[in-house]
Chains A and B, each alone.
Chain A
Amino acid sequence: MKLDEFFVTGEPLVYGGMVSIVLVTSAVIFLLTYFKRWGWLWREWLTTVDHKKIGIMYILSALAMLFRGGMDALMMRIQLAFPNMNFLNAQHYDEIFTTHGTIMIIFMAMPFLIGLMNIIVPLQIGARDFAFPFVNALSFWSFFFGAMLFNISFVIGGSPDAGWTSYTPLSGAAMSPGPGQNFYLMGLQLSGIGTLATGINLMVTILKMRAPGMKLFKMPIFTWSTLVTCFIIIFAFPILTVALALLTIDRIFGSQFFTVTGEGMPMMWANLFWMWGHPEVYIVILPAFGIFSEVIATFARKRLFGYHAMVWSMILIAGLSFLVWVHHFFTMGAGAFVNSVFSVSTMLIAVPTGVKIFNWLATLYKSKIEFTTPMMWSLAFIPSFVLGGVTGVMLGMAAADYQFHNSYFLIAHFHYVLIAGTVFACFAGLEYWYPKMFGHKLNERIGKLAFWFFVIGFHVTFFPQYFVGLDGMPRRVFYIIPEWMPLNVISTVGAFGMGVGFAIFVFNIYYSYRNSEREKTGDSWDGRTLEWATPTPVPFYNFATVPHADKYDAFLDMKEKGETTFEEEKLEPIHMPSNTGQPIIMMAIAAFASFALIFEWITLAVIGLVGVLIMMGIRSFDYDEGYHVEVDEIKRIEREARGL
């Protein structure tokens, strides 16, 4: 392979990307060397097994991915603003909508939420870490390297260009030769392993490590949403694993699963993909529901209305999520009966979702709402999400779907649920729990400015797309006709509004780091659940003494009784896991093997695979049992943190 085949050449935008990658990397290396921070980076972050630090790394990566996916989106909006634009050519446009979709779902939404779960769930249930801290680090690095692998494709080898759904036969070896599609397959495969491991890890954590007295139906609602999400992950992700593996074997080893020669079945890909893909959208929306429930209850200063109904509706949604996948391809021609069945099951989902909407409204009813930034995101979520949900029911009607299918109406629908649901929740959750992570709040004024830019920009972007879709504009076209121009111009303006909102949000992180008042109590918002019971910043062992949590809203109860998580007479040595470099090394080797497989360098891939197996063997012989934090040490840390 020649060098000019290895690197992508001939695109000024891609050259710009290369230059910025080189510049940013050199700047990071220079800064780390100049401030002598390499050892710190390795000891404190790269080898950590602390769920809070891993969560922060997840969220930082997700923000970076939001930036990347957002840049893709802006480039698409520029190309679509006017008829006959030549900003992107057809090939480049195909690549960009593919990476935009894949990155936003797999490498932005999921890691952002998993990051929040990482930090908050153990704190909410009174645990000192995950059930398997080592596996947690492994999960993070598998996601991280998977994301890097996918992202590097646009400068090395070429981006995938068959859409985020990667339908066969288009994505097969015959019609998409070269490494591009392999980047998609291996990037998702590598990070998918981590997601599955996180699902198992969190499920065991929640089932086995709750504070004494905390029954399942006493758990905070965000923890419940995490548990239900884990259930979906465990039953959905293996399907993706298999689908990706089959397509990989097709492309690299010449099998015939999805080919049109050899009697393969290209339509089977659509089925397998959406049997994972539909549950996947609930993987990214249920935790969002959990976040909104926490935020709304906190700032309405009321107990969450209909807690049991909230939990059961999530369980119902999780079950139904596996029974609706055909609605993504009604037009593929499964027949009237099959389409009717899936049409009905699709519309059924609106029922438990509606229950949740009404419960949030009832929580707000007659409450004294505090308009903090996280609350603003939550309040904006309810009507926006309803718009997305109602158009979802429209799309769910199989007969009507023949009109809406593949149009901008669909684009508008799923952006309304994914942005108004998931992205708003990510921002709400980050701002809500920010003081717990970093010891200071984000500035409220700047936060609200970012909120207004983003929310108004969001509606300006996507509301017109419903109409341009009904006017017949199909998705995935790179030229528009003059009739569609006015609405598309509005859309593009809105997209830049969202971009400005995001920029302000990121600036706020820097601004607040410099200027915000430091937290002293650890209970920044007068919270109700156990994560607020710890001092801020949270000691690495979380709870000096684990509280007894037999009431719903356990921390509220503790505050009434005057209890804390530092009861000196009950202190015992705390057992903690040791840091280890094995996860990052193992996953770096796995990424090397995947990279070799992407370019079909089989020998190198085998060498990498053997390397991964050796790392697993080393892990098997590793009998490090962690260490104990002694009582005196705990006393010293707690007194300092609590200012006693």
Chain B
Amino acid sequence: MSAHELKSGPLEYRTQEGRMSILGFWIFLAAEVVLFSTLFATYAVLYGRTADAPVPGELFEPGIVLVMTFLLLTSSFTCGIAIHHMRRGSVKGLMTWLIITLILGLGFLGFEIYEFVHYSHEGATLQSSAFWSAFYTLAGTHGVHVTLGIGWAVLLLIQLAKRGLTTVTSRKVFIISLYWHFLDVIWIFIFTSVYLIGMVV
């Protein structure tokens, strides 16, 4: 609760509140790692249990998944640029690159929704077998995280437009950037351990 504000260093780290929020968010991300690990473990355990539904090798296609991967990885890069602009003190640069990040994220989501609809038309639904339940839950949880992240970032964009860069807004933006990079890392694991393995095995 100390109100002493540092005079130098990144804006988001200058107050005690800022430092504590960022540490708290890192710890939250640790909990998120456990959450996704459990989902990955579930997926691994249920791998191959497709019952009467199609097997993943029949449905997974390299093209669309590569596009999704490209979109999300690029969005992580643009998110990094956004934070770079924030550190330089440029609200305009920050907001521009944040919006680009969100558009890439929306693109990712669009492809993911298309993919889910496509699979379910082919007879692989959440209900059709244990494997597909695990697939939809794992990929879907990641997708829901991306969706929430986009909604959250939109709220922050409004606050940035209203208030500019303060210790509070820059802390919030910094935290959502951590979140966004984290989702990227999770996607890399989904890409390799779900899609790549699913295509070859």
List of A residues within 8 angstroms of B65 by Cβ: none
* A577 and B1 alpha carbons, distance in the complex (Å): 8
Taking the complex as formed, is B39 at the interface, i.e. its CB lies under 8 A from any CB of chain A? yes
User: Is the Cβ of A268 less than 8 Å from the Cβ of B2?
Assistant: no
User: Is the Cβ of B24 less than 8 Å from the Cβ of A132?
Assistant: yes
| One of A200, A259, A617 near B155 (C-beta < 8 A) | A617
| One of A208, A250, A613 near B16 (C-beta < 8 A) | A208
List of A residues within 8 angstroms of B168 by Cβ: 623
User: Is the Cβ of B24 less than 8 Å from the Cβ of A263?
Assistant: no
User: Is the Cβ of A576 less than 8 Å from the Cβ of B30?
Assistant: no
Taking the complex as formed, is B61 at the interface, i.e. its CB lies under 8 A from any CB of chain A? no
B28-43 at interface with A (beta carbon < 8 Å)? 28, 30-32, 34-35, 38-39, 42
Taking the complex as formed, is A597 at the interface, i.e. its CB lies under 8 A from any CB of chain B? no
Taking the complex as formed, is A394 at the interface, i.e. its CB lies under 8 A from any CB of chain B? no
User: Is the Cβ of A200 less than 8 Å from the Cβ of B24?
Assistant: yes
List of B residues within 8 angstroms of A237 by Cβ: 31
Given contacts A237-B31, A620-B152, contact A256 B20 (CB under 8 A): no
CB distance from B38 to the nearest CB of A (A): 4
List of B residues within 8 angstroms of A204 by Cβ: 20, 23-24, 27
Q: How large, as a class, is the contact surface on chain B?
A: 35 or more
List of A residues within 8 angstroms of B1 by Cβ: 128-129, 574-577, 626
List of A residues within 8 angstroms of B69 by Cβ: none
Binds A, one of B6-14, B93-101, B104-112, B131-139: B131-139
* A239 and B134 alpha carbons, distance in the complex (Å): 15
CB distance from B71 to the nearest CB of A (A): 25
Binds B, one of A73-81, A241-249, A303-311, A416-424: A241-249
* A623 and B162 alpha carbons, distance in the complex (Å): 12
User: Is the Cβ of A249 less than 8 Å from the Cβ of B20?
Assistant: no
Given contacts A238-B32, A262-B128, contact A208 B133 (CB under 8 A): no
User: Is the Cβ of B34 less than 8 Å from the Cβ of A257?
Assistant: no
Taking the complex as formed, is B50 at the interface, i.e. its CB lies under 8 A from any CB of chain A? yes
CB distance from B116 to the nearest CB of A (A): 14
User: Is the Cβ of A621 less than 8 Å from the Cβ of B155?
Assistant: yes
* A265 and B163 alpha carbons, distance in the complex (Å): 52
Taking the complex as formed, is A341 at the interface, i.e. its CB lies under 8 A from any CB of chain B? no
CB distance from B157 to the nearest CB of A (A): 11
Taking the complex as formed, is A254 at the interface, i.e. its CB lies under 8 A from any CB of chain B? yes
CB distance from B134 to the nearest CB of A (A): 7
List of B residues within 8 angstroms of A617 by Cβ: 155
CB distance from A172 to the nearest CB of B (A): 12
User: Is the Cβ of A620 less than 8 Å from the Cβ of B159?
Assistant: yes
| One of B24, B32, B159 near A201 (C-beta < 8 A) | B24
Q: Considering the complex of A and B, which 3 residue pairs feature the smallest CB-CB distances, nearest first? A: A255-B133, A263-B49, A238-B35
Binding site for B on A (CB under 8 A): 128-129, 131-132, 196, 199-201, 203-204, 207-209, 234-239, 241-243, 245-246, 249-250, 253-257, 259, 261-265, 268, 272, 275, 574-577, 613, 617, 620-621, 623, 626, 628
Binding site for A on B (CB under 8 A): 1-3, 16, 19-21, 23-24, 27-28, 30-32, 34-35, 38-39, 42, 45-46, 49-51, 126-134, 136-137, 151-152, 155-156, 158-159, 163, 168, 172
Given A201-B24, A242-B38, A574-B1, 4 more pairs with CB closer than 8 A: A250-B133, A255-B127, A261-B51, A620-B159
